[in-house]
Chain A
Amino acid sequence: MTISASQHRTRNPLERRYALLGVLLIAPTVLILCAVIVYPLISAIYLSLFSIYTPTLKGSWVGLGNYAQVFGSSGFWGALGTTVTWTVGTLFLQIVFGVAMALLLNQNILFRSLARSLVLFPYFVSTVVAVLIWRWLFNDLYGILSHLLIQFGVVDMPVDWLGKMPNAMASVIFVGAWKFFPFVVIAVLARLQTIPEQLYEAATIDGAGVFGRFFDVTLPQLKEVLTIVILLRTIWDFKEFDLIYLLTGGGPVNNTRTLPLIVYQQAFGLNQMGIAATYAVAMMLVMLAFMLIYLYRARRQAP
């Protein structure tokens, strides 16, 4: 972060002072990030080499033993599979709903800004609130959802939305999509508004229908923004804790228990802080590997 010596020759004193000022301005950020991110990150890796009992914080060195235990257990791989299922499922719905809704909201409809506000709201509402609402809607005895389905003759018994598979996973994925799809809507909507009208006119002249115009004009134009949206949402969905923990707690059995939930349970339910840190580090490695592959491929495909 210091001014490089090699550049000194080419720089006048003012520029050098500016560079110093720049370093000074960024210094608080760097210090804070070191304290709250870099240092804890190193600590997490360090802790993962111990066996630690949470309430007493007494530990003993186990080296890579935790890693052998974690990678050797079906728990980790099962949870990784669950995490991937959740991420892919909810991301897919978010993208589909999000793009579709953005296309609709891009039309000239009545009270467009009100409609946009309403669509945006779930994204900003607290996850705790979102989960409470959905648990109430899903309630087996008094929930409106089962009631309406029974009234319309779709089912004849209240549905067990959260307690059995595959319902639980589907519900979690769906609530996740409801909560997070507005992010896609806003991102895509902003991009849609910048697509030149001429492109559509040209396509229409060439005889393209609604779908033709979507696939030939809109989608290629959205490619860039979607790449970034998918990247960000994958990261955020992969590490989502609140929504799943509060909705199902990982159940039934462990069918919706994703990696972040295991970390929490190990650390504070089973009081195994060392193993918990190991899971956390392993989870990060998986994410890192995924990101590198994604970025590498995205870069290769880009012209």
Chain B
Amino acid sequence: MMPARRSTTMLANLVTWGLVLLISFPLIWMVVTSVRPQTELFQIPPTVIPRAITFEHYIKLLQETPFLRYFMNSMILATSTTIVVIVVGTLGAYSLVRFSYRGRETLAALVLFTYLLPSVVLIIPLYLMMVKLGLANTLTSLVIAYTTFALPYALWLLRSFMAGVPEDLESAALVDGASRIGAFIDVILPQALPGIISTALFTFILAWNEYLYALVMVNSDQARPLTTGVMNMLITSFNIEWSLLMAASVMMSIPLIIIFAFLQSYLTRGFGAGGVKG
């Protein structure tokens, strides 16, 4: 029995890791391409192992292109969106979970319904709205636009995290004479904090990766985030430098890599709790 069991485990390991590597190959190839000299890329047939390693593309990206400006824009954009959505969403979710008033359930269902709305339906009126408000072409307009998908999503996640906080804790605080808001700050917030962090990470990533709204609403380098900035800057009619594109891709993924390295458990928690269980 024993040897058979061991060989099954070996096989499982082999198959799983084989598949994992296959799935991550595109990402590995991105990194490999980004450190190869441009001349090596234009070899026919292509070679798998780089013969020389260079960081010239990263340096070029940082020194000769507006990459850093786009990066800053994306950072401001994703952070602002996250703050707005988390503040509003936390209060809203608390209300949905712990208060009773008419229309509460309907409201929760309507929030789920907004999942249905394609961005393209909202984008035209939203765009015109920003024009009227004089906000077109600003990061603010994108923050507002991003709440359309980030707020319902965050609300739904936070709602299930908050539902997981034992009601007795809050009741105990209330009996001790705390106000509802006091109990919320002292009891609910600390208890739900991991969930809030998890939701914040999701929101940040959603905003960081958004493309369509940025494509339509912003046409100035002053407010262009990375997604549209990189495409506009590097896919051109005069040259397509793949090594530069791959270097840009790696750098675009830096926040993600950091989150993965240090905060990954929060991401999986987000999945387990709200995203799917519903």
Show the binding face of A for B, using Cβ within 8 Å: 1-4, 7, 18-19, 21-26, 28-30, 32-33, 36-37, 39-41, 43-44, 47, 57, 101, 104-105, 107-110, 115-122, 124-130, 132-134, 136-137, 139, 141-144, 147, 150-151, 178, 183, 186-187, 190, 225, 228-229, 232, 235, 238-239, 241-242, 246, 259-260, 263-264, 267-268, 273, 276-277, 280-281, 283-284, 287-288, 291
Contact = CB atoms under 8 A, between A and B. Distances in A.
Given A29-B151, A287-B118, A229 B276 contact: yes
A3 B249 contact: no
Given A47-B125, A119-B23, A126-B253, A228 B116 contact: no
Interface stretch (B55-63, B191-199, B265-273): B265-273
A43 B125 contact: yes
B253 A284 contact: no
A278 to B, nearest CB: 11
A171 to B, nearest CB: 13
A260 B120 contact: yes
Interface string B240-278: 001001101100110010011000100110011001111
B116 A287 contact: yes
A36 B147 contact: yes
Contact of A121 (B19, B27, B48): B27
B16 interface: yes
Given A129-B249, A136-B245, A280-B124, A124 B107 contact: no
Contacts of A124: 205, 209, 256, 259-260, 267
B117 A284 contact: yes
Contacts of A126: 208-209, 211, 226-227, 252-253, 256
B126 to A, nearest CB: 5
Contact of A25 (B33, B95, B114, B278): B95
A9 to B, nearest CB: 14
Given A32-B88, A132-B246, A133-B249, A37 B124 contact: no
